[in-house]
């Protein structure tokens, strides 16, 4: 007994910063009080390509980061953009985030985040560098496939559950790229000139939702500037909006190479500096870590008394809070890699995200038993690689050809490459090694022999084909696809075109093709999911997260000359203001080829007239709108009912309508169900940049209920009451 008592008496309580029974803030302040200036400085910048050093003397662990947002990227060598050559870092490649957005299914977004977080945890990563929620402003932007479309409500609604799902694994999500990264061309220097209304009503909301509702633990600054100052150390964006107004208590990190000044970095809210003197993709100065802006230069300014050490303390405080949430949290799960349930989630997101754009005479689903000719490089190309930092090494990637063969039987499926691109490269377009004419001839011959043709083309995440670092240089399909589609139609008009991309593309053949599918970079289970849809085993339910214009010049960003895109003299002017995407098409009455929110089903849905619970609301009220949705067809299906609002006489110009809610519902054949959504009246406010706050007018408003932004099935109007309504300050 004595020994035990003696042992108990001598056992020291752990130092407060290690004592898990103490509140986090007590532990954090205790650790800061024990750290030297050099130890604090070491924590706020990289020690390697993807890690920071922690504080070894105090047993505070390193922080390890990895790209996302569609899965856990391969392991890199310590100090350069080289794959480390591990054999156990293959992952489940989830579909790209545009596909997730196209599901309009927040529950799937949470499942998606759980999968990515679980595999990150298994790989011992503490931060996944994703999701991205920059608004889709031009169909040329190289990274739209990594983002969630053109509408702030859709992106906000989908990003919150993604973050919660990911962080449930004790891994931080890192919301990016804060903010206004809406093009890749000149991304590392372009200064975005945008009015405050558009900034607050379009470009900030998804970030605000991720921080205030998603409680994201990390945010990444973008490369570009806002009002002439780099976003990665921008006082207005970081200290004022992100940290003060939104109460962000996590870590604000740079993009790789997005810091440019020691004082600005120290004073304007940057907490961790990563990747300085790299281009974020292919090259960087070796082992420059002590020369980082927030390394020796900052230490010298503090030692000289020019900057206060307390600035560093706040950065370290946030980093330690991140550690307690992640690598110092003993209760976090262990994670898993490439499980059947992860693959099932990948397939589910892909199935629900595929969008059926056109289906004349029920051309789809394809009937079994006939000969199907699958034609196009995207039917066989591994598309989880490429695209830049979101590249993945998938343990599995079922190609569209494999998926179709598995579903319809090898003997019923012919294949021809049709066209070929060069190998993926982040800095230039490599020429194809194949002879285009012979590929075309072979494809035509194959199409002749088939009962139906499934053309699988699109973009492919090669350089300037949906890839980080620069934008597309054309709205058209590359590699001669348009001509090939015309040649194939000439010999076999029974053709469905599957576009795999993260952006809208031109479709000169649209009127001649009986069926068109907008598919995405679908990840590990893509081919199986596409076969699920094409065969009719699964009824398509995806809806477009962005507008597909008939012509590039019909897109707002391309209606104001070079100054609006890609910019002149280092400035890009968002002259369209609030009118991005369907907001532009609706307000300027320019019909899109396929509108935001569009997506067909193999069944049809009926909408009753919408009903309101009241006719007059106060600003603090919530509107309850309901309608009866009916499945009029002969098979089960899901429909996303969209609720847009418009204001009758706004004090400031507003878009014709704005998405404020949506509801995805699955109905059996013949089933009817009452759909009910609740819209806070406060969500009808707009940002008044002269008052610099949100305002809600006393006025008449209308709710437009639609199957897409252009297919409105019913409307109902109401009033917002007087009194409190005028100039109500809405947070
Ligand atoms: C890249 C990307 C960013 C990524 C980071 C690390 O430049 O812009 O999204 O997370 O560098 O690879």
Cα of 256 to ligand 1 centre, how many Å? 6
pLDDT at res. 10: 54
Give the residue, out of 63, 66, 67, 147, with the most ligand 1 atoms within 8 A of its beta carbon, to mutate for a pocket test: 67
Look over the chain and give the mean of its residue pLDDT values, rounded to a whole number.
96
Decide: 146 in ligand 1 pocket, CB within 6 A: no
What residues contact 437, with CB distance under 8 A and at least 6 apart? none
Decide: 176 in ligand 1 pocket, CB within 6 A: yes
| 73 CA: nearest ligand 1 atom | 12
Cα of 10 to ligand 1 centre, how many Å? 49
pLDDT (average), residues 108-130? 98
Q: Do the Cβ atoms of 725 and 684 come closer than 8 Å?
A: no
Q: Whose CA is nearest to atom 1 of ligand 1?
A: 280
| 223 CA: nearest ligand 1 atom | 8
pLDDT (average), residues 266-276? 98
Give the residue, out of 181, 252, 280, with the most ligand 1 atoms within 8 A of its beta carbon, to mutate for a pocket test: 280
Inform me whether the pLDDT recorded for 621 exceeds 60: yes
Cα of 552 to ligand 1 centre, how many Å? 28
Percent of the chain with pLDDT over 70: 97
Decide: 389 in ligand 1 pocket, CB within 6 A: yes
Residue 125 CA: distances (Å) to CA of 98, 122, 248, 301, 588: 24, 8, 22, 33, 47
> Tens digits of per-residue pLDDT, 316-349?
999 999 999 999 999 999 999 999 999 999 999 9
Decide: 81 in ligand 1 pocket, CB within 6 A: no
Banded pLDDT at 425 (limits 50, 70, 90): confident
How many angstroms separate the CA atoms of 251 and 254, rounded?
10
What dihedral angle (degrees, nearest 10) is formed by the CA atoms of 282, 283, 289, 295? -90
How many angstroms separate the CA atoms of 279 and 292, rounded?
15
Q: Whose CA is nearest to atom 3 of ligand 1?
A: 255
pLDDT at res. 462: 95
Cα of 255 to ligand 1 centre, how many Å? 6
Neighbouring CB atoms inside 10 A of 605's CB total: 20
Decide: 280 in ligand 1 pocket, CB within 6 A: yes
How many angstroms separate the CA atoms of 134 and 686, rounded?
20
Decide: 129 in ligand 1 pocket, CB within 6 A: yes
pLDDT at res. 7: 54
> Tens digits of per-residue pLDDT, 20-71?
999 999 999 999 999 999 999 999 999 999 999 999 999 999 999 999 899 9
User: Is residue 621 classed as helix, strand or coil in its secondary structure?
Assistant: coil
| 181 CA: nearest ligand 1 atom | 8
Q: Whose CA is nearest to atom 12 of ligand 1?
A: 389
Give the residue, out of 70, 388, 427, 471, with the most ligand 1 atoms within 8 A of its beta carbon, to mutate for a pocket test: 388
Tokens of 706: 């639609």
User: Is residue 55 classed as helix, strand or coil in its secondary structure?
Assistant: strand
What dihedral angle (degrees, nearest 10) is formed by the CA atoms of 92, 164, 133, 500? 30
Cα of 329 to ligand 1 centre, how many Å? 26
Decide: 187 in ligand 1 pocket, CB within 6 A: no
| 146 CA: nearest ligand 1 atom | 9
Cα of 33 to ligand 1 centre, how many Å? 33
pLDDT (average), residues 660-674? 98
Give the residue, out of 129, 132, 176, with the most ligand 1 atoms within 8 A of its beta carbon, to mutate for a pocket test: 129
Vertex 67: Cα angle to 355 and 183 (nearest 5): 60
With residue 342 as reference, give the H or E element that holds it: helix 340-353
Cα of 245 to ligand 1 centre, how many Å? 26
How many angstroms separate the CA atoms of 391 and 73, rounded?
7
Decide: 256 in ligand 1 pocket, CB within 6 A: yes
Inform me whether the pLDDT recorded for 131 exceeds 60: yes
Cα of 389 to ligand 1 centre, how many Å? 5
How many angstroms separate the CA atoms of 460 and 424, rounded?
8
Residue 241 has what DSSP assignment?
I
Decide: 111 in ligand 1 pocket, CB within 6 A: no
Cα of 280 to ligand 1 centre, how many Å? 6
Decide: 253 in ligand 1 pocket, CB within 6 A: no
Burial code (b: 16+ CB inside 10 Å, e: under 16) for 360-399 equals eeebbbbeeeeebbbbbbbbbbebbbbbbbbbbbbbbbbb
How many angstroms separate the CA atoms of 514 and 361, rounded?
8
Q: Whose CA is nearest to atom 7 of ligand 1?
A: 280
> Tens digits of per-residue pLDDT, 341-391?
999 999 999 999 999 999 999 999 998 889 999 999 999 999 999 999 999
Banded pLDDT at 731 (limits 50, 70, 90): very low
Inform me whether the pLDDT recorded for 213 exceeds 50: yes
Decide: 67 in ligand 1 pocket, CB within 6 A: yes
Neighbouring CB atoms inside 10 A of 474's CB total: 12
Q: Using DSSP, how many helices (H) and how many strands (E) does the chain show?
A: 17, 27
What residues contact 530, with CB distance under 8 A and at least 6 apart? 350, 354, 400, 403, 404, 456, 498, 517, 519, 522
| 176 CA: nearest ligand 1 atom | 9
Cα of 67 to ligand 1 centre, how many Å? 7
| Residues involved in catalysis | 255
pLDDT at res. 241: 98
């Amino acid at each position: 007994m004595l020994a035990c008592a003696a042992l108990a008496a001598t056992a020291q309580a752990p130092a407060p910063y290690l004592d898990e029974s103490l509140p986090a803030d007590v532990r954090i302040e205790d650790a800061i009080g024990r750290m030297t200036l050099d130890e604090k400085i070491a924590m706020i910048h990289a020690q390697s390509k993807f890690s920071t050093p922690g504080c070894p003397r105090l047993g505070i662990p390193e922080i390890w980061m990895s790209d996302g947002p569609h899965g856990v990227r391969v392991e890199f060598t310590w100090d350069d953009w080289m794959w480390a050559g591990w054999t156990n870092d293959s992952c489940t490649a989830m579909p790209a985030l545009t596909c997730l957005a196209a599901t309009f299914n927040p529950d799937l977004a949470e499942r998606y985040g759980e999968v990515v977080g679980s595999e990150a945890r298994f790989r011992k990563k503490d931060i996944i560098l994703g999701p991205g929620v920059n608004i889709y402003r031009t169909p040329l932007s190289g990274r739209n496939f990594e983002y969630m479309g053109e509408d702030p409500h859709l992106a906000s609604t989908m990003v919150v559950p993604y973050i919660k799902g990911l962080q449930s694994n004790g891994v931080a999500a890192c919301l990016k790229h804060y903010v206004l990264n809406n093009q890749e061309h000149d991304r590392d220097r372009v200064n975005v000139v945008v009015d405050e209304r558009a900034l607050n009503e379009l470009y900030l909301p998804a970030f605000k939702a991720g921080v205030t509702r998603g409680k994201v633990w990390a945010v990444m600054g973008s490369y570009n500037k806002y009002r002439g100052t780099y976003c990665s150390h921008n006082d207005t964006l970081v200290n004022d909006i992100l940290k003060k107004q939104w109460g962000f208590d996590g870590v604000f990190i740079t993009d790789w190479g997005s810091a440019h000044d020691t004082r600005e970095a120290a004073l304007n809210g940057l907490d961790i500096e990563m990747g300085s003197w790299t281009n974020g993709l292919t090259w960087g100065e070796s082992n420059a870590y002590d020369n980082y802006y927030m390394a020796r230069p900052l230490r010298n300014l503090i030692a000289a008394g020019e900057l206060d050490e307390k600035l560093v303390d706040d950065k370290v405080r946030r980093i330690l809070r991140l550690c307690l949430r992640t690598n110092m949290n003993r209760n976090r799960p262990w994670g898993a890699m490439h499980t059947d349930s992860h693959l099932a989630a990948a397939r589910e997101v892909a199935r629900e995200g595929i969008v059926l754009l056109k289906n004349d005479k029920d051309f789809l689903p394809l009937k079994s038993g006939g000969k199907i000719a699958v034609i196009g490089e995207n039917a066989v190309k591994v598309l989880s690689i490429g695209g830049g930092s979101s590249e993945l090494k998938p343990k599995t990637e079922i190609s569209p050809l494999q998926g179709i063969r598995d579903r319809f039987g090898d003997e019923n499926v012919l294949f021809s490459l049709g066209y070929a691109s060069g190998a993926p490269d982040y800095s230039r377009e490599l020429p194809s090694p194949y002879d285009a004419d012979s590929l075309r001839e072979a494809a035509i011959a194959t199409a002749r022999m088939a009962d139906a043709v499934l053309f699988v083309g699109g973009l492919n995440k090669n350089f300037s084909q949906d890839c980080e670092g620069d934008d597309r240089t054309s709205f058209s399909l590359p590699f001669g696809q348009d001509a090939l589609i015309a040649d194939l139609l000439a010999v076999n008009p029974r053709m469905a075109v599957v576009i795999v991309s993260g952006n809208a593309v031109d479709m000169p053949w649209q009127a001649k093709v009986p069926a068109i599918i907008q598919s995405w970079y679908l990840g590990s289970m893509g081919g199986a999911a596409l076969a699920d849809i094409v065969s009719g085993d699964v009824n398509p339910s995806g809806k477009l997260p962005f507008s597909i214009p008939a012509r590039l010049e019909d897109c707002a960003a391309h209606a104001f000359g070079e100054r609006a895109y890609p910019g002149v003299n280092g400035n890009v002017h968002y002259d369209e203001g609030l009118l991005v995407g369907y907001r532009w098409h609706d307000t300027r009455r320019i019909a899109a080829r396929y509108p935001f929110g569009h997506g067909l089903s193999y069944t049809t849905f009926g909408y009753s007239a919408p009903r309101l619970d009241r006719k007059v609301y106060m600003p603090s009220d919530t509107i309850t709108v309901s309608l009866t949705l009916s499945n009029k067809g002969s098979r089960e299906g899901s429909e996303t009912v969209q609720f847009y609002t418009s204001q009758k006489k706004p004090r400031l110009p507003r878009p014709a309508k704005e998405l404020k809610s949506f509801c995805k519902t699955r109905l059996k054949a013949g089933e009817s169900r009452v759909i009910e959504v609740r819209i806070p009246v406060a969500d009808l406010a707009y940002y008044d940049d002269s008052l610099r706050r949100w305002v809600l007018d006393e006025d008449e408003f209308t709710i437009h209920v639609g199957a897409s932004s252009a297919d409105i099935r019913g409307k109902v109007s109401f009033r917002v009451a007087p009194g409190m309504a005028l100039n109500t300050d809405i947070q």
